[in-house]
Amino acid sequence: MWDCRRIEKTKSKRGRIHTENIVNEYALHTREFLINKLNFLNGEVQKFIPATNEEHTGVVALDIKWKSGVHFIIYQTLWRGYYYAARNNEKISHTFHLGKLKKDSPVYLQRLINDIDNGRYDNKLTPHELYLKFVQEKGLTGYMNNTKWNKIFNIIRTIEEKTGKDISIMYKYIFDTDIPVYYWSVSQDEDLHENMYKYIEWLKIQPVACEYEYHGCLIEPKYTCYDYTSLFLEKMGAANLHYEYLQHEEAYIIYGYRINSDNV
């Protein structure tokens, strides 16, 4: 079905390659094959929206929508295809690997379509709905939003760029059962992105960067610390961001959530 070697072949012949054209071609092939093989029952086929940017390596090949708001999605990439149920642009089922299209391929996809049509996913909560339910059940009050978190992390990155030193951070998500012990830096964190900001219960920042020189086992290492507290507080104040000082940790904490006093 999909020969990814074609990408390299095309690139070698033409130099620059427009990946969005190839992924659209793959997606349309998948779409045509499945529309002719599947029974969408009470679902309605949605219009195909092609990828338009060369950075796009994936596109929704097939979108079937039910009146309940549940969608059956086939997502096509340059390498493989996936299918799943979704609502409000969030997955509410497992993500299944489509595999190479064969005569028996529609059998597995039809099972998910039947489940959607039978109402199995009508009351299935999206990740965002589960998060709201968790916050409500735990009696948490939110104090932050993505705009504020972006300001804070931009302040950290600005200080790091200006000084050439990493600023130590530590945070906990509301659903984490373990509390972190050690600090790390933003540049070392591969999981921290805007989609995860809403789950941050608290963030601790130590605006002091320390380095040490190792001179062997018999000599104590030499530590050099750079204190950027004044710069950090200046920028936090200018952005009108609230924080608290933890004297025992010599760190500043920003709360994303706290337990509502009415529930204590």
**Which pLDDT belongs to residue 102?**
77
Which phi-psi region, left, alpha or beta, contains residue 250 (left: φ > 0; alpha: ψ -120 to 50)? left
Residue 42 sits at φ, ψ, to 5 deg, of -95, 5
CA dist 13 and 73 (Å) reads 34
Concatenate the DSSP letters of all residues of 101-156 into one string.
Answer: --TTHHHHHHHHHHHHHTTTTTTPPPHHHHHHHHHHHHTEEE---HHHHHHHHHHH
Query: Has residue 26 been placed in a domain?
Result: yes
The reply to whether 163 falls in a domain is: yes
Map tokens 């097939």 to a residue: 62
Residues 89 and 158 in one domain: no
Q: What pLDDT sits at residue 222?
A: 75
Give residue 261's pLDDT.
Answer: 63
Is residue 10 a part of any domain in this protein? yes
pLDDT at 177: 81
250 with 144, same domain: the answer is: yes
Indicate whether 86 and 52 sit together in one domain. Answer: yes
**Size of the chain in residues:** 264
For the chain, the domain total comes to: 2
Same domain, 120 and 167: no
Do both 96 and 194 map to the same domain?
no
Q: Is residue 98 in some structural domain?
A: yes
Last residue of one domain, picked from the residues 68, 94, 124: 124
- For residue range 2-41, what is the model confidence (pLDDT) as tens digits? 444 444 444 444 444 456 788 899 999 999 999 999 999 9
Domain of residue 74: give its range: 5-124
Domain boundary among 71, 103, 124: 124
Do both 21 and 113 map to the same domain?
A: yes
d(CA 229, CA 252): 10
83 and 152 share one domain: no
Residue 263: predicted pLDDT:
53
Which stretches of the chain drop beneath a pLDDT of 50? 1-17, 264
**pLDDT for 116-150, tens place per residue?**
999 999 999 998 898 889 888 989 999 999 999 99
Place of tokens 């600005």: 158
Q: Does residue 129 sit within a domain?
A: no
pLDDT of the residue at 10: 45
Same domain, residue pair 163 and 259:
yes
Is there a single domain that holds both residue 160 and residue 99? no
Same domain assignment for residues 153 and 253 = yes
